[in-house]
Structure 1
Amino acid sequence: MWGIIPAAGSGTRIQPLAFSKELLPVGSRFDGGTERPRAVSEYLVDRMVRGGADKIAFVIAPGKFDILQYYGDHYGDAAMAYVVQPRPGGLCDALFRALHLVHPSEPVMIGLPDTVWFPEDALAALPDDRLSFLLFPVEQPQVFDAVVTDGHDRVLEIQVKSPHASTNWIWGAFKMPGAVFHDLHRLWLERGRQDEYMGTLVNAWIARGGDAVGVRAGTSYVDVGTVRGYRAAIGLLSNALSEAAE
């Protein structure tokens, strides 16, 4: 199973940094018996591996070689790959840069590298046989992509950064069969590559008869792309450590 991580953004909300925003130190990890700072993107990579990914592809911008240097060719038992997005083009453009890696017969999961969320094994709750969104409750859904579902968890609409979001459940990651990933790419091309956000593309796909589900398996979600988010992530991790110690 592939995990695709779009990491080509410049991170203007939290700059200036001397490194790629995906390597922002958040919390720590133990390397042998030594405690070391942990890059924020490691939380997503680790969660993807826990969810079954054995191959991880970072989509990076030219010059973000520090991500390659940090991760190298593997993370645990997962092989690492790197694809270049030559210029900014939105989330859909970034994700589809890795299309050639994904065979239609294998599942693919996608998440954002500047986020920290719990539970750590939540991706395992997503089915492999359909497009499925991992949902989290947040206090300000208008700054995310809110996911509207019916009583059977079927996705009705994705409200992309809507000031009038009708639900406080947002997607934090998603998963789909490789065949659906290829179908979405064909639709994106048919629509003239106009979709910057995955939400608008999925809305068009659903309008054409596509099926997606929202799984409310997430409990907490923080976007670390701002200073406020960075502080919230530190607090979230501290609480998690305290709960684990009890």
Structure 2
Amino acid sequence: MPEEIVGLLPAAGLGSRLSPIPCSKEIFPIGFTVHHQHGDLHPKVVGQYLLEHMQRAGATQVYFILRKGKWDIPDYFGDGSQLQLYLAYLIMQRPYGTPYSLDQAYNFVQQKRVIFGFPDILFEPQNALEQLLQRQDETAADVVLGCFIVNHPNKWDMVALDQNGIVTNILAKPAQSDLVYNWAIACWGPTFTEFMHHYLNQEEEQLRVLGGELSVGEVILAAINAGLQVQSVCFDTGSCLDVGVPEDLQKAIRQLS
């Protein structure tokens, strides 16, 4: 596996589930942290939790993919030096869903290992991304998904796993399901980066004509159907909260404040 690890962080959404809020949801304050210069407590924003996960997992470079107008994100995080990261900012060009935002970084991440998360999902354990990378090293999987037990399958991409932890199916927000695990974080290598790039180019014309968007889960499922190996790490005692919805945002504020 390539040794260089980079983070991909999509921040091109409209944040409509929380609207109206006074800033991009990625920099909405939840909890507190010690200021890197002054040593006192100051508010900790949503996106910092994921960036810290990525830094612990060995990423030195993280690419934010932004929608035009969300300039408060680079204004807040700057170059990332306070988090011991190099941050770069790319602008989303194709409005057909998160995979197209991620593909904006294609030329920068082609031959690298990618760690991925949604900036509005808070998750534990602290070494979750490291465990995904370790599983990828052990299995040579093209993709490894971090899976969590959730109570409301209709709000998540749910995954079916075989006895060896291989992901065999992904169901997007099923109305009813016996599946207990969602996926919320991932790592992948160049094979999947290349697959996603070509798959998105193939699907773009249809999306342009008919409308709609693709999800990351749909692209991963297409990769499974094409023969790529997708492994999993299940965090049975872990947790994940989607703070992009009001009820989970309230829970996170109560837990972290």
TM-score by length of 1: 0.91
CA shift at 1:187, angstroms?
2.1
Whole-angstrom distance in 2 between the partners of 1:87 and 1:108 = 21
- Counterpart in the other structure of 1:235: 254
Q: Name whichever of 225-234 and 187-196 sits farther off.
A: 187-196
- Corresponding residue SS for 2:151: coil
Question: Does the CA contact (< 8 Å) of 1:135 and 1:215 recur in 2?
Answer: yes
2:248 counterpart letter in structure 1: G
CA shift at 1:118, angstroms?
0.8
Tell me the alpha carbon deviations over residues 12-54 of structure 1, each in whole angstroms, 9 at most, x when there is no partner: 1111112111111000111132111111011111111111111
Instruction: Note if 1:55 corresponds to 2:61.
Output: yes
Question: Does the CA contact (< 8 Å) of 1:132 and 1:215 recur in 2?
Answer: yes
2:131 counterpart letter in structure 1: A
- Counterpart in the other structure of 1:154: 166
- Corresponding residue SS for 1:157: strand
Whole-angstrom distance in 1 between the partners of 2:86 and 2:231 = 29
Question: Does the CA contact (< 8 Å) of 1:147 and 1:214 recur in 2?
Answer: no
- Counterpart in the other structure of 1:188: 200
Instruction: Note if 1:198 corresponds to 2:216.
Output: yes
- Counterpart in the other structure of 1:4: 8
Tell me the alpha carbon deviations over residues 166-222 of structure 1, each in whole angstroms, 9 at most, x when there is no partner: 312111110001232122211222234656111112212111211101111361110
Consecutive aligned runs of 4 or more in structure 1 exceeding 4 Å deviation: none
Q: How does 1:62-211 map to 2 (within 5 A)?
A: 62-75=68-81, 76-86=83-93, 88-104=95-111, 106-126=112-132, 127-128=136-137, 129-130=140-141, 131-192=143-204, 194=207, 196-211=214-229
Aligned-residue CA RMSD in angstroms?
1.6
Question: Does the CA contact (< 8 Å) of 1:8 and 1:88 recur in 2?
Answer: no
2:178 counterpart letter in structure 1: S
Instruction: Note if 1:42 corresponds to 2:27.
Output: no
1:186 counterpart letter in structure 2: H
Whole-angstrom distance in 2 between the partners of 1:59 and 1:13 = 19
Question: Does the CA contact (< 8 Å) of 2:241 and 2:252 recur in 1?
Answer: yes
Instruction: Note if 1:14 corresponds to 2:18.
Output: yes
Question: Does the CA contact (< 8 Å) of 1:140 and 1:168 recur in 2?
Answer: no
- Counterpart in the other structure of 1:244: none
Identity of aligned residues (%): 30
1:45 counterpart letter in structure 2: L
Question: Does the CA contact (< 8 Å) of 1:3 and 1:48 recur in 2?
Answer: yes
Question: Does the CA contact (< 8 Å) of 1:155 and 1:214 recur in 2?
Answer: yes
Whole-angstrom distance in 1 between the partners of 2:7 and 2:226 = 26
- Corresponding residue SS for 2:182: strand
Whole-angstrom distance in 1 between the partners of 2:194 and 2:162 = 26
Unmatched runs of 5 consecutive residues or more in structure 2: 208-212
Whole-angstrom distance in 2 between the partners of 1:176 and 1:87 = 22
Change (3 A) 1:82 1:19: same
Change (3 A) 1:153 1:108: same
- Counterpart in the other structure of 1:215: 233
2:56 counterpart letter in structure 1: R
Whole-angstrom distance in 2 between the partners of 1:71 and 1:28 = 16
TM-score by length of 2: 0.87
Whole-angstrom distance in 1 between the partners of 2:30 and 2:107 = 32
Instruction: Note if 1:28 corresponds to 2:32.
Output: yes
Unmatched runs of 5 consecutive residues or more in structure 1: 239-246
Whole-angstrom distance in 1 between the partners of 2:170 and 2:129 = 19
